[in-house]
Amino acid sequence: KEIRWKGLPHRSNQETESLHDERARRIEEVKRKRESLKELVVQNICFTNLVNRNRARYVSQQKSPESVS
């Protein structure tokens, strides 16, 4: 049996353009998600700092005699 190379499959220009458009859409989607993730990370850091600050304030108020009423 003889094997013959026929080359890579040919894609129509429309299909190629469609794939390029899809790739561009996906790249934009990844950019939006990356920005959203950055914002969520910043919010998480801010909330963590707030909790730590509140916890430290609570502990210091429990230790100080002025806080007893």
What whole-number distance in Å separates Cα of residue 22 and Cα of residue 32? Answer: 15
pTM over 0.75: no
Q: Please work out, in degrees rounded to the nearest 5, the angle formed at the alpha carbon of residue 51 by the alpha carbons of 50 and 54.
A: 85
pLDDT confidence of residue 44? 98
Asked whether the beta carbons of 57 and 49 are under 8 A apart, the reply is: no
> pLDDT digits over 51-69, tens only?
999 999 999 998 876 655 4
Region 30-45 average pLDDT: 98
pLDDT confidence of residue 66? 64
